[in-house]
Structure 1
Amino acid sequence: MRKLMKFMACMLVPLFLFPSIGLAEAQGTIPGPSNHAQSAALIDVTSGRILYSKDGDKELRIASLTKIMTAIVAIEHGKLDDKVKVTSSAFAKEGSSIYLKLGEEMTLENMLYGLMLRSGNDAASAIAEHVGGSEEGFVLLMNKKAEQIGLTHSHFMNPHGLDADGHYSTANDLARLTAYALKNPVFKRIVATENKSAPNPNESWEYSWQNKNKMLRLYEGADGVKTGYTKKAFRCLVSSATRNGQQLAAVTLNDGDDWNDHARMLNFGFENFPLVEIAKKEQPVQNTDVVTGRGFTYPLAKSETSSLTKKLILLDNRVQESTEGDAKTTDPTFGLAGRIDMQLDGKLVGSIPVYRKGSYIPPEPKTEDATLGGIGEISTWASAWRAVLSHLLSP
């Protein structure tokens, strides 16, 4: 067993050192859509490729778009069936509200619906205090998550988005955050919900919430995400939509015509950057004895297809000394042979593993297991490695 683990450890190192994937931006490839936003961005959710950006790294107030981070942190750190109690600091919070009563208890899941559909600031504070121990503790989790997923132009001071010095983000960062969050099935389900009812312990009638995000009713395929407004941030919006198996997310900050602008941005993405299948799972690699370990798709403009290149990188044959003697051996079931790097105009946009023909190939990670940037690369490969370990170590 020690020999096998030693063998696998030496193989893990080169895989985990892969550069980040999906970060090649499409800016300048095709003229972008017109919009009225101070800052805007459009991202392909699966790959993390930013398809359009307008002053995308400009740090601005983001109002209730903050609650995208609040929701994903709460989902990842909390339990959906926990009862969240409304404290005096959460009760009657200024701004938008779901009108929770002091001392009222509601499940975290229903609180999240009130947070994302009606933008309840009271729900945001109650969630933060429950999950983080205090609002300040929760904000630490928010900023830690921002750092983890590579949001280099974002900083959070509260969970609701009321204007505060030092509380800001950018269109590009919010696009990446949204793409990350949409890979979580709970988050994805909540933000796609148009109407939600929840028990009301203080009245004979239930809470009934209609989603403020009009894109769900205005745009074909719309499935999220969040509206926002303050007197200093002005109108802010993140929307998402799925067509032909491709999900895009659009972001605008300070945009007085956001509904129409988002329709134009999403149309631009679907029309000009459709997902292209680059490789299929278990596809033989020409002139070798290896096959692909998973499929690979990427959003590409027609003019870019000839600029995408594939590079096969095979691992050296590793031979480990046995701990019992001088005999050298390799494990024949360990079929990972290397990887194929996909490059667009010389920039790495993704990698897929290759395996020796006839060897065990772990299942592809679920969409929600994948994330963006370096974390996503490790997360995706970690899923594959867990499957390998499970297969090798099973009786």
Structure 2
Amino acid sequence: MLPSGAESCIALAEHIAGSEQNFVRLMNEKAEELGMRHTHFENTTGLHDENHYTTVKEMSIFLREALQNDIFRDIFTTFRYSTPPTNQHPEGITLTSTIYEKLDSRTIMNGEILGGKTGYTDEAGLCLASLAKVGQQEYILITAGAKGNHHTEQFNITDALAVYNSLGEI
């Protein structure tokens, strides 16, 4: 999840549910259980499909639910993870979260960015699901459809920073 490994999404889905499609069925069942009426998943990766859709409001519902799971929350808020050494990689492999690669600092006005997951497709633009703490309050923010791509300014992140910093001014 940290460096956006679509192959890992599929592998985990196969491990948990026997196939990606079986896992997608579970995702859709969970979305329905959460009252997400404008969401339908077709894959685990988030890659474009006409029948794969959601809203920013419903993605925030999904993220809020996921953050209740301690393992997910730990991964979602992890900056960097290093694997143990192996014969192929005697120093291990260090994985860095895509949001933290793009941030100069996790600090925002009166708080900090706790975690996030970036996303991009040509159709959806630059997207971000993020969590921050401002004062004593945690906030989830979903940004979507930002202009640019992997090689431009990351407007999904700059938009989130602007929103979170404005909360710190209140």
Whether TM-score is above 0.5 comes out as yes
In 1, the alpha carbon distance for the partners of 2:104 and 2:23 equals 33
Deviations 1:241-270 (A, max 9, x none): 113321001111111322221012123344
Structure 1 match to 2:69 = 184
Task: Please give the secondary structure, in 1, of the residue aligned with 2:45.
Answer: coil
1:228 and 2:119 are equivalent in the alignment: yes
Question: Given the two structures, how large is their TM-score scaled by the length of structure 2?
Answer: 0.84
- In the TM superposition, what is the alpha-carbon distance from 1:202 to its structure 2 partner? 6.2
Q: Is the 8 A contact 2:106 2:114 kept in 1?
A: no
Cross-structure match for 1:148: 33
Structure 1: runs of 5+ lacking an equivalent: 1-115, 273-395
- Pick closer, same or farther for the CA change 1:203–1:212 going to 2, 3 Å: same
Deviations 1:207-241 (A, max 9, x none): 21011113765342111121001122211111111
Counterpart in the other structure of 1:195: 80
What does residue 139 of structure 2 align with?
248
Distance 1:269 1:177, change over 3 A: farther
- TM-score normalised according to structure 1 size: 0.38
CA distance in structure 2 between the aligned counterparts of 1:202 and 1:158, rounded to whole angstroms: 34
1:269-280 equivalences in 2 (<5 Å)? 269-272=167-170
In our comparison, the structure showing a higher alpha carbon Rg is: 1
Contact kept? 1:248, 1:269, Cα under 8 Å: no
Answer whether contact 1:171 1:251 (CA < 8 A) is retained.
yes
Could you tell me which residue of structure 1 aligns to residue 105 of structure 2?
218
Mapped to 2, the partners of 1:244 and 1:180 lie a distance apart of 22
- The letter for the 2-side match of 1:264 is A
Aligned residues: 157
Alpha-carbon distance in 1 for matches of 2:97, 2:124: 21
Partner of 1:117: 2
- CA RMSD of the aligned region, Å? 1.9
Q: Is the 8 A contact 1:194 1:216 kept in 2?
A: no
Partners of 1:204 and 1:185 lie apart in 2 by 29
Match status 1:259 vs 2:157: yes
Kindly indicate whether residue 95 of structure 2 is the aligned counterpart of residue 209 of structure 1.
yes
Alignment of 1:237 with 2:122, yes or no, is: no
Q: 1:245 to 1:271 in 2, by over 3 A?
A: same
Distance in 2, matches of 1:262 and 1:204, equals 36
Identity of aligned pairs, percent? 35
